[in-house]
């Protein structure tokens, strides 16, 4: 459970750095997400989750 909480913390750090370093890009990305159809967002989310699982599987062996 501690590793899961640490992983969530790492995601928040990376996201925070993105917003801090590139606020204009982050705003455009959010506006783009609002205009995108739900199906596209769902597919991108599933693809991202699968890629994350594969990366964890490779690293953890």
Residue 50 domain boundaries:
2-60
Q: 27 near 19, Cβ under 8 Å?
A: no
* Both tokens assigned to 42: 């769902």
Tell me the pLDDT tens digit for each residue of 7-51.
Answer: 999 999 999 999 999 999 999 999 999 999 999 999 999 999 999
Residue 1 has pLDDT above 90, yes or no: no
Closest CA relative to residue 33, chosen from 48, 21, 20? 48
Distance CA 10, CA 16 (A): 10
Residue 52's Cβ-side half-sphere holds a number of Cα atoms within 13 Å equal to 9
pTM score of the predicted model:
0.70
Number of domains in the chain: 1
């Amino acid at each position: 459970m501690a590793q899961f909480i640490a992983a969530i913390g790492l995601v928040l750090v990376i996201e925070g750095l993105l917003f801090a370093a590139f606020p204009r890009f982050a705003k455009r990305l959010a506006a783009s997400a609002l205009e995108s159809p739900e199906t596209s967002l769902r597919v991108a989310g599933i693809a991202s989750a699968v890629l994350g699982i594969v990366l964890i599987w490779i690293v953890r062996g």
